Amino acid sequence: MPRIASRTLLSGLGAGAIIGALLFACTSRVPKTSQRLVTGDAASRVYVPPGSYDEFYAFFSGGFSGQVTVYALPSGRLIKTIPVFSVFPENGYGYDEETKAMLQTTYGMVPWDDAHHPELSQTDGVPDGRWLFINANNTPRVARIDLTRFQTDEILQIPNAAGAHATPFTTPNTKYIVSATRFSIPVPNADVAIDTYARNFKGVLSFITADQPEKMDVAFQILVPGYDYDLAHAGKGPSDGWFFFTSYNTEQATTKLEVNASQNDKDYVAAVNYRRAEQCVAEGKARVMPTAYVHNYIDSVTHVAKSERKTSVRVLDPARCDGLMYFLPTPKSPHGVDVDPTGEYIVAGGKLSTVIPVHSFSKMQKAIAAKQFDSVVDGIPVLSYQAVVAGEVQKPGLGPLHTEFDGKGYAYTSMFISSEIVKWKLGTWEVVDRIPVYYSVGHLMIPGGDSRQPWGKYLVSLNKITKDRYLPTGPELAQSAQLIDISGDKMKLLLDFPTMGEPHYAQAIPASLIKDKQVKYFKLSANRNPYAVHAESDGGIARRGKRVDVKMAAIRSHFTPDNIEGVQVGDTVYFHVTNIEQDWDILHGFAVLGNQNSQLILLPGETRSIRWVPQAPGIYPFYCTDFCSALHQEMQGYVRVSPAGSSVPLVANVSPKAQAAMHAASGGR
């Protein structure tokens, strides 16, 4: 396709027209087989024999699915979907009584979101495999996933924000994860005219404590000018203690942003000294702002979700905390901001720029000391571009977005418009290689490529459009990733594989850091769910007014109890089912006819509860949904539902011990 490298052309045409035309050119042609395809050994390079393990876990954001998908590399096999921000009927997440509180917000229960950026926890700047964090963009939230169980344990709503796009990037020891406003709004939110944007709208940068499970909270927020804040990364090495955010729409436009927010030749990278922020908070320079947000977490003892409401947050104004924050001018409409493994270079991706600007942390420090400021915006000094720029990568391609690093002195940048990955050398800024991708790449990912210690063997290109790559599936085609070998001087395409949702970003880590730490089952003796049963003899049924609670055991290949009578129309029934197996990967399921929410999947040693409201008299079967044994089909039971006010006694076929216990719990009725 034609290359367009002219700054005049980019600024003279409407941004939307340029992108549309070039995108059409990139996606409407049928590609020739790339000369970079390793035709001789590509299959063997990605083939993982039966019974063998892949080298890497790769965690992909599910985009508009609201979930995380887990792929194995180099095979590209999908091995897990982790429910996070959306209800998930495959295992009952968000439907069952133990997890539905995880989706609570100040707006009520929000059963969906748009998940963009997974981020692995780090120790000393290196991914450590303890946790995975991910953001919700629509209703601003961050989540923690425990990687010993691949389950979401914690979700925190972010106050004073709208659109949590630059989220949830971590500091080198996971003390904080950050979140930045994509859509500036009044803070606190208020009914104001939209055309008062420049006067009344603000952004916030949130620093969230992240190193203590069940205790995520907003440590402090920084009130910033009303721009759009896009992505972020922490400093490391010499720049440890700083965080860098891209921003665009310094024009503060509110309509037709594709044109009106692309006028300025330069926008900003915001450099935040968060250790200085901590000092200012400790000195009482932050104001306590009333607000409302929700913290949800899985209680580590009961494994039942709890939801708590927060009522205030500490907010810092940069004008009251000198040395807190600086703007680095950056061409043009920057998207990604990435810090190289040494911590010296800060690379921005100007979507409409013809160069890749690279800022120097050491030059930034000198410019601050010398007060080389072009201006001051809301108490934030704007540093001179020439004073802080280390260099520019010339003619890299069109539409630079994101950069990651191989740890060998090279950087790799995704080019959205020209659909390619470009490799360039740190320090000389020379382009040394490029490879086409299909098509319109957004993020790219190198395992550990945003950390102090990349595992620079593979690169994954996360492509937005897949015309002619896979069998067609109607108007909507599969999203796509491409695996590229970067171990040698030249990049080599190894594999295409389809992905779920719209995967914006991914993180990967050697499997050896995670696979041997997996929880294989929950100890039944440690199950503290208030409705747990530890043996079949513990099952039972009890009535409290119109509520009926059924405590049930599941084991190969039956439920106890499996026949229940005395339920009436108008009752609300809670089935509390415990899988009393103590063996790895022996799951059971539970579903009942007429249920209006979901089934349950029960991990070994786990209790899950589902709410059921029968609508009419009759016989209602229930059954195990997860094929568990040769007699799985026989794992079933019945509920008899009688008219309201019926004299049919409440009974279940359980042991005499359980029958006596449930009789007592029902007050002798």
Residue 200 pLDDT grade (very low, low, confident, very high; cuts 50, 70, 90): very high
Residue 333 lies in a domain: yes
Q: Do residue 254 and residue 286 come from a single domain?
A: yes
Q: Do residue 494 and residue 536 come from a single domain?
A: no
* Better pLDDT: 586 or 11: 586
CATH for 298: 2.130.10.10
Q: Is the N-terminal amide bond of 111 cis, ω within 30° of 0?
A: no
Q: How far is residue 127's CA from residue 404's CA, in Å, rounded to a whole number?
A: 15
At residue 585, does pLDDT exceed 50? yes
At residue 597, does pLDDT exceed 90? yes
Q: How far is residue 337's CA from residue 359's CA, in Å, rounded to a whole number?
A: 10
Res 5: pLDDT: 34
In the numeric block, the tokens 């704007």 are attached to 382
What mean pLDDT value characterizes the chain?
93
At residue 456, does pLDDT exceed 80? yes
Residue 13 lies in a domain: no
Instruction: Show which of 467, 487, 517 is a domain's final residue.
Output: 517
At residue 33, does pLDDT exceed 70? no
Res 369: pLDDT: 98
Q: How far is residue 102's CA from residue 308's CA, in Å, rounded to a whole number?
A: 10
5 burial via Cβ count (<10 Å: 0-12, 13-18, 19+): middle
pLDDT in tens, 602-652: 999 999 999 999 999 999 999 999 999 999 999 999 999 999 999 999 999
Q: Are 581 and 534 in contact (CB under 8 A)?
A: no
In the chain, the percentage of residues whose pLDDT exceeds 90 is 90
In the numeric block, the tokens 């709503």 are attached to 157
Q: Do residue 451 and residue 534 come from a single domain?
A: no
**Residue 255's domain spans which residues?**
33-517
pLDDT in tens, 105-115: 999 999 999 99
Q: Do residue 186 and residue 317 come from a single domain?
A: yes
At residue 20, does pLDDT exceed 80? no
pLDDT in tens, 219-250: 999 999 999 999 999 999 999 999 999 999 99
Q: Do residue 123 and residue 104 come from a single domain?
A: yes
Strand partners, 289: 313
Counting the structural domains of the chain, the total is: 2
Q: Do residue 417 and residue 562 come from a single domain?
A: no
Residue 26 lies in a domain: no
Residue 211 lies in a domain: yes
Q: Do residue 592 and residue 500 come from a single domain?
A: no
pLDDT in tens, 347-381: 999 999 999 999 999 999 999 999 999 999 999 99
Res 45: pLDDT: 92
Q: Are 624 and 554 in contact (CB under 8 A)?
A: yes
At residue 558, does pLDDT exceed 80? yes
Residue 6 lies in a domain: no
Residue 452 lies in a domain: yes
Residue 5 lies in a domain: no
Q: Do residue 546 and residue 502 come from a single domain?
A: no
Q: Give me the phi and psi of 481, to 5 degrees please.
A: -130, 150
Residue 522 lies in a domain: no
Average pLDDT over residues 510-521: 98
Res 137: pLDDT: 97
pLDDT in tens, 296-313: 999 999 999 999 999 999
Joined together, the tokens standing for residue 15 give: 């941004």
Residue type, 358: V
